[in-house]
Amino acid sequence: MKNSLIKTDQEKKMEKLHWESLKWKSQFLLMDDELLFINRLLNSYVFEPKTPNLFERLMDYKSRIKKTEDNIDKIKSCLIIHESELGGVMECLGKSCEKAYQMEHEVIEAEVMSCIEDFQNLKLEIFNYAGGILRKNKPNN
């Protein structure tokens, strides 16, 4: 009974990888909400209509947002498969299973971090641009 409470090194490593995966999924959920807001902003009529190249700029942002959404969907799919493989790794007796899973985890981690960084940069660019050309509605006095 006492042995069932003690985690092996492999169990600890796999638990850490699982928690990292959960953290990434949580970050993607937040990004989904942010993307929804940004899409609504870009499709709204709150921009000064006389802004030079407004249409082209908005279309570029919409295109880049779409690519970001597609990339997020691709990574989420990989992450779902990756998490489902975790149980198999726990049942595998050899170090080769653990090592292969760890390597796959590191590849996914690099993709996640790159995606998050790219999105943060795009979001900053959009907000900086939008902040300067929003309509200035004067309150009715």
Name the 3-class secondary structure at 9: helix
* pTM score: 0.84
Give helix then strand counts, H and E, for the chain: 3, 0
Residue with tokens 């870009």: 42
Give the C-alpha separation, 89 to 100, whole Å. 9
Domain boundaries, the chain: 8-37+57-132
Task: Pick the closest to residue 125 from 66, 58, 73, 72 (CA basis).
Answer: 58
What's the mean per-residue pLDDT of the chain? 88
pLDDT in tens, 5-18: 666 777 788 889 99
